[in-house]
Chain A
């Protein structure tokens, strides 16, 4: 009896110690913000980063830019407090703030900014070169003035500059240009509101507040990004308080569950991100020859009920796609273009016209003995898109096209694409920017083998692009961008399935100060102040 009691007491004591001491709960007092995410950056190198996650960290924690964007994605001051363009729009003069410093205490001056831009141009840094392609010279007459001279007036000049993270001259002058893209930057030296602390890959990434930040000092003491290898535990961790916020990666299903919880706030924001089926339109690749005919591609696009897909596959947390410029940038979004909608009958007519008829009555169209049988590659990481693909397969079957589905990882798909364009079509995602340049650029003929996975070529489209780059008048540029969207929509080198919504959630019972309307989620790679005002209640 006595022994039993001792045993029980010991057990309950141990249990108390083990379970009762929850270190995560203490963080509220510590001012540590814990962020959960499903994907880690590959690198924090500003000259070679390639993930949204890295961009998010650079934007919100590590680096500053010459100018930035406000909550509505318009140009806003950052290192440059004001700027002025000459009458012809060729010479831009930026007045810089005084007193910015690097995380190591050294002053950040116009010399660093000029160095960054020159480094990008000299070494043709792939991440940024498109933004500075039209710059002729860079001058820093004094520590707080920077002058950029352009070869010709450029419409996107300001938004382009908001994409370039400024690096420290005293660090980067020692890194050779040809090694810049692969440099691993294990101890990033930035000037932003948070200082790099530690990165244990596949575990966590932590930053502490920059006590001497030249702008507004954040109220948080520390920010920790915790990696989760699977989604459900991440959501449960938010519910039980081990993490405080999931910035963008909630699934529609989890959203429905979390929306019911009072202590949480679920936030939906537009995302400059869509998913599309990219069709091999190239005349040189090994795709199905029928796909080289724009009429066939248009017929395929006409037989995808995007509205139903958005509703069924993403439970309404996505909007049916239209063109390559997203509805998140309403000014340039091509909502005026003439639409064909969901129209299987029209598609059949188009296919007949193109010479693809069911001559042997087996239910599949053919021409010269070749059946219209194509394969769609779907990323295995997205099971929901495989379901979308299955629905599309059924629709296409109705118009006499046999679609085979193949699930593959990203690497396998890329290997099909480049350099030989062996594929028929693949389902992929695309992440855009507030300026429409990048969204329309990926179908240029000079982007084949680079961004243009469709292998699409259209001289009229290419010419419009060059024209809009130089169209400084926004209305004129808008007209040109709309024309490009209309061409893409009719020629259909890709079928834009849906514009995605970024869904995030945070502990509203503990935290305040999140910006809830910013494009790209609670902490976005497009907007720098996602964390600045966040504080514990």
Chain B
């Protein structure tokens, strides 16, 4: 009963947050200096009447509140508007870019969590020894490394073995499915490794510190006293408790990363959401920005909701 109520409350909270996001999203971009129509058709030779016509075409001629009303209504209908720059529906554009981003992010996230946890566990178990020191300093170093710099470093050392930009090689003559997959794989390898390494550090550090805390708990002593061996103590007593902060971190990251892999996407010219947002920002492409921020916010919201629900499954204290 309590559990059900907890879910309902969380869901309601999420909906309110969503509305706040929508509203903020709308007004935020209108505060930016720069008229999108002027910017898009920066050629001063275009007559004023044409500009006004375009303003009407893109729905920029009404009052702010009218625009806000339209925006809420359309968003609920799933219509995110038409990009000023690409002249395509934002939903289509975002869906395409989201797939590209997920192709890059999913393997990188999974790998970085797995490797990060392994690093963290090794460091915590061998606390104070050389391997702890190495794992910890390596993690800190990676965490502090800018993705673009690491990416460039990889490019220098890949020395002609892998392509340096994009997702596909353009102009392949009639590639088979296998060739296309291979091509994608070759393009994916470097950005994926870069992103994995950059993200790995924080998981390792959080895992290590959280595990260290848990290892000093009384129930660990009890487990030892019961005569359980080291591995059993680690996997069935320590880890389930220590992993909670890692879930939180992963959830926060997931939301952020959808739009936040900009550095990696820029260095490798990966056509993901991050770059779309960055370029839309430079060109005041309001519909794309709004759409993208909405998607990113919803992703963050969902990830947090999922984390909370997962928490309540893993940690009974949360429900109580």
Tell me whether A18 and B189 are in contact in the complex, defined as CB-CB below 8 angstroms, given that A126-B47, A233-B155 are known contacts. Answer: yes
Q: How far is the CA of A50 from the CA of B164 in the complex (A)?
A: 29
Residue contact A233 to B267, C-beta cutoff 8 Å:
yes
Residue contact A18 to B152, C-beta cutoff 8 Å:
no
Residue contact A206 to B171, C-beta cutoff 8 Å:
yes
Q: How far is the CA of A531 from the CA of B251 in the complex (A)?
A: 51
Interface residues of B in 149-170 (CB under 8 A from A): 152, 155-156, 159-170
Chain B residues whose C-beta falls within 8 Å of the C-beta of A130 in the assembled complex: 45
A118 within 8 A of B: no
Residue contact A233 to B164, C-beta cutoff 8 Å:
yes
Chain B residues whose C-beta falls within 8 Å of the C-beta of A232 in the assembled complex: 152, 155
Chain A residues whose C-beta falls within 8 Å of the C-beta of B183 in the assembled complex: 23
Tell me whether A230 and B171 are in contact in the complex, defined as CB-CB below 8 angstroms, given that A203-B166, A410-B39, A450-B45 are known contacts. Answer: no
Closest to B166 in A: A203
A127 within 8 A of B: yes
Q: How far is the CA of A34 from the CA of B164 in the complex (A)?
A: 14
B42 within 8 A of A: yes
Q: How far is the CA of A74 from the CA of B179 in the complex (A)?
A: 48
Q: How far is the CA of A181 from the CA of B88 in the complex (A)?
A: 17
Q: How far is the CA of A130 from the CA of B276 in the complex (A)?
A: 35
Chain A residues whose C-beta falls within 8 Å of the C-beta of B166 in the assembled complex: 203-204, 226-227
Chain A residues whose C-beta falls within 8 Å of the C-beta of B50 in the assembled complex: 126, 178, 181-182
Residue contact A233 to B269, C-beta cutoff 8 Å:
yes
Interface residues of B in 69-112 (CB under 8 A from A): 85-87
Q: How far is the CA of A228 from the CA of B271 in the complex (A)?
A: 10
Interface residues of A in 118-148 (CB under 8 A from B): 124, 126-127, 129-130
Point out the residue from B86, B159, B265 that lies within 8 Å of A240, measured CB to CB.
Answer: B159
Q: How far is the CA of A233 from the CA of B155 in the complex (A)?
A: 7
Residue contact A50 to B43, C-beta cutoff 8 Å:
yes
Tell me whether A415 and B33 are in contact in the complex, defined as CB-CB below 8 angstroms, given that A19-B162, A27-B171, A182-B54 are known contacts. Answer: yes
Q: How far is the CA of A19 from the CA of B173 in the complex (A)?
A: 19
Q: How far is the CA of A411 from the CA of B281 in the complex (A)?
A: 10
Tell me whether A242 and B164 are in contact in the complex, defined as CB-CB below 8 angstroms, given that A24-B169, A182-B57 are known contacts. Answer: yes
Chain A residues whose C-beta falls within 8 Å of the C-beta of B189 in the assembled complex: 18
Chain B residues whose C-beta falls within 8 Å of the C-beta of A181 in the assembled complex: 41, 46, 50
A224 within 8 A of B: yes
Residue contact B170 to A411, C-beta cutoff 8 Å:
no
What total count of A-B pairs have CB within 8 Å? 152
Point out the residue from B49, B163, B164, B269 that lies within 8 Å of A227, measured CB to CB.
Answer: B269
Q: How far is the CA of A198 from the CA of B170 in the complex (A)?
A: 10
Task: For the complex, count residues of A whose C-beta is within 8 A of B.
Answer: 58
B232 within 8 A of A: no
Residue contact B155 to A236, C-beta cutoff 8 Å:
yes
Q: How far is the CA of A390 from the CA of B276 in the complex (A)?
A: 32
Chain B residues whose C-beta falls within 8 Å of the C-beta of A242 in the assembled complex: 163-165
Interface residues of A in 358-383 (CB under 8 A from B): none
Residue contact B164 to A202, C-beta cutoff 8 Å:
no
B282 within 8 A of A: yes
Residue contact B86 to A230, C-beta cutoff 8 Å:
no
Q: How far is the CA of A181 from the CA of B276 in the complex (A)?
A: 24
* Interface residues of B, dominant DSSP: loop
Closest to B268 in A: A233
B38 within 8 A of A: yes
The 0/1 profile, CB within 8 Å of A marked 1, for residues 135-160 of chain B is 00000000000001000100110011
Residue contact A23 to B44, C-beta cutoff 8 Å:
no
Tell me whether A18 and B269 are in contact in the complex, defined as CB-CB below 8 angstroms, given that A27-B171, A178-B53, A182-B41 are known contacts. Answer: no
Point out the residue from B38, B49, B267, B282 that lies within 8 Å of A230, measured CB to CB.
Answer: B267
Tell me whether A229 and B43 are in contact in the complex, defined as CB-CB below 8 angstroms, given that A206-B170, A240-B164 are known contacts. Answer: no
Residue contact A127 to B45, C-beta cutoff 8 Å:
yes
The 0/1 profile, CB within 8 Å of B marked 1, for residues 177-208 of chain A is 01001101000000000000010111110100
Q: How far is the CA of A184 from the CA of B265 in the complex (A)?
A: 26
Closest to A186 in B: B87
Residue contact A124 to B266, C-beta cutoff 8 Å:
no
Chain B residues whose C-beta falls within 8 Å of the C-beta of A233 in the assembled complex: 152, 155, 164-165, 267-269
B241 within 8 A of A: no
Residue contact B163 to A24, C-beta cutoff 8 Å:
yes
Q: How far is the CA of A450 from the CA of B265 in the complex (A)?
A: 36
The 0/1 profile, CB within 8 Å of A marked 1, for residues 275-291 of chain B is 11001001110000000
Point out the residue from A229, A410, A411, A414 that lies within 8 Å of B266, measured CB to CB.
Answer: A229
B240 within 8 A of A: no
Chain A residues whose C-beta falls within 8 Å of the C-beta of B57 in the assembled complex: 182
Closest to A222 in B: B171
Interface residues of A in 426-468 (CB under 8 A from B): 447, 449-451
Name the residue among A182, A230, A232, A237 with the largest chain B CB count within 10 angstroms: A182
A384 within 8 A of B: no
Q: How far is the CA of A32 from the CA of B173 in the complex (A)?
A: 11
Closest to B86 in A: A201
A409 within 8 A of B: yes
Residue contact B44 to A449, C-beta cutoff 8 Å:
yes
Q: How far is the CA of A23 from the CA of B163 in the complex (A)?
A: 9
Chain A residues whose C-beta falls within 8 Å of the C-beta of B269 in the assembled complex: 202-203, 227-230, 233
Q: How far is the CA of A222 from the CA of B169 in the complex (A)?
A: 14
Chain B residues whose C-beta falls within 8 Å of the C-beta of A240 in the assembled complex: 159-160, 164
Residue contact A415 to B165, C-beta cutoff 8 Å:
no
B217 within 8 A of A: no
Closest 3 CB pairs of A and B: A126-B45, A450-B44, A411-B34
21 intermolecular pairs with C-beta atoms under 8 Å apart: A30-B173, A34-B170, A126-B46, A127-B45, A178-B49, A178-B53, A181-B50, A182-B50, A182-B54, A184-B87, A202-B275, A203-B269, A204-B166, A227-B166, A229-B275, A233-B267, A237-B164, A237-B165, A240-B160, A411-B284, A414-B34
Q: Which residues of B come within 8 Å of A, CB atoms?
A: 33-36, 38-47, 49-50, 53-54, 57, 85-87, 148, 152, 155-156, 159-173, 179, 182-183, 185-186, 189, 265-269, 271, 275-276, 279, 282-284
